[in-house]
Every structure is written in C-alpha cells, then in structure tokens.
Structure 1
Amino acid sequence: MAKENSGYLPHPYEQLAAAYINSGHDVAAREVLLAKCRRQRAIRPPALRLWGYIQDWTVGYGYRPARAAGWLTLLLVTATVVFAAHQPPAAKPAEAPPFNAFLFVLDLLLPVVSFGQEQAFHPHGWQPWLAAGLIAAGWILATTIAAGLTRILSRR
C-alpha cells in the first residue's frame, strides 16, 4: 500500500534502463538503476533509509564498483600502516614466518586468497575488532567488485 501513496513506481525506471541497455548505453542504464534505488530509499523506514545512504555512499548500490575498489585500497593502506606499527604476536613463535603487515591485511581483506599470515599471527587487544571489520568489509567490497567486473565482462 505504501507504494501507491508514495509515488514510487519502479517499472518506468526498469523500462528506461532496458531501453538504454538494448541500445548499447550501459552507463546511462546504470545511472537510471541507481536513480531507482535512490528513489526507493526515500520511502523506506528510517533504519533502511540509513542503510541505503551507506550503500549509496560506499558502493553506489553496486553500480559503482570503482568506489568499492577505492574503499578496498584505502582499507588496505590504512590497515597496513596500523598493523605495521602494532604487530600482532605470532601464534607459534618458533614456526611463524616473518611478519608482513601488507600480506597480513590482504589475508584479512581478500576472502579467497591466503598468504599464510592470518593463520600465523593472532591479533590481540583491540586488533581482533579491526581484523573482524576488515574481513567483513573485504567480503562486501570484493563481492561488489566481482559483481561489477562480471557485469562489465558479460557485455563484451
């Protein structure tokens, strides 16, 4: 019932996006679909509206995968500096490889790749919270980047 009273109608956005896609204007289609998401956000309850603003600002509702790559790079650089300054202790000091903050953060951020650093070193104090945040952000951002790349490659 809220849709009738809100003035939000998704079908025209979808029709226009389909027309743009059929005529080879993928960028314009993404702009229309992004506008659809933004318009839909306006009729959502406050908590979902806030989540919509976060999605829009960080990854453009998935229609801006370059933003996700930028966030991933920013997290990689920042967390590398943090872990280089505050090295986590080795899980097994006698068997641990030399600590590499860059590879440690890559282990946390990239969900599929393992450089062996995450298993060899265990964050302590406030570091597990940072590590958990990096893992969650890595999954979200890497998935967004993969979806964007898939969308781009499937049209070629």
Structure 2
Amino acid sequence: MCHWLATASTVLGIYFGITIFFLFTFYYHNNHAGTWGLFSAVFASICLHLRLLRGNNRLGGWYTIGQLNSLAAFGFICFCIALGFTSWYIIYAAYHNIPMLPVTSSFYLAAVWAGMTAKWSFCCFILSYQYSRFLRYSTPFLVIQEETSETA
C-alpha cells in the first residue's frame, strides 16, 4: 500500500512539474518558477523510475551499486543547490519587498518550486542510497575460482 502511495505521489510530482513549467514559462513568463518546475519533474521521474525498477525486481539489471551511489551523490548536491536557491529567493523577495502577485515577477513562487526540486532531489538521494545498500546486501557473493594450469 505504501509503495503505491509513494508511486502515485511521484506521478503527481511529474505531472505538476511539467504543468508548472509550461504554465509559468510560456503563459505567465516567470522563467525562474518554470525552470524549477521542470527540474522538479526530472527528479520526480528519476524517483519513479527507481521505484518501479525496485518494485519489479529489475533494479540490478539496470544499475550497479556504483551507479546508484553516484546518483545518490548527484541527488544530494542538487538538494543542497535547490535548498540554497529556495532560501535565496525568499530572502531576496523579503529584502526588496517584492510582492507575491503579479505572478510574472514573483520570487516566492520560484522559491516554492525550488523547494519542490529540493524535495524530489532529496528523495532521489534517499532512494538511490537505500537501493544501493539493498543491492549490496541482497546480492549473493560470487565465489570465483581461479583456474590453475599445471604444466608438466
């Protein structure tokens, strides 16, 4: 039940991220919020991909432990960057007294979507780290015997 709830959440994250990208970028001309919406959708789709592979027991066929660890590091770095931008947008808008409306010049909406990107990149970090540990400790150890050639 929890797996399907998390999967539905990631699907909604992809949908809203893509919708926000097109709506804020092309209709409201708020490129900051639109770009962060697209980044949010990308990280939500990575999370969905990982969840579906794990649910179908195909994670080991797609990723190695090293690739998942690299993806976890990338997710953590992007989390830090998105969290920094979230803080920056809020501080900048508060310092310069920029109102939330109109949407075209709202840095608060950009802060919301940078925060959503931080959420999904942190989810990517957690899932990648957990699944790399899952692969490491669930894969049976292979015993490789070296062939010895005896020459007479």
Q: Which range, TM-score by smaller chain?
A: 0.3 to 0.5
- Give the TM-score normalised by the residue count of structure 1: 0.34
Structure with more relative contact order (C-alpha pairs < 8 Å, separation 6 or more): 2
Alignment TM-score, normalising by the size of structure 2: 0.35
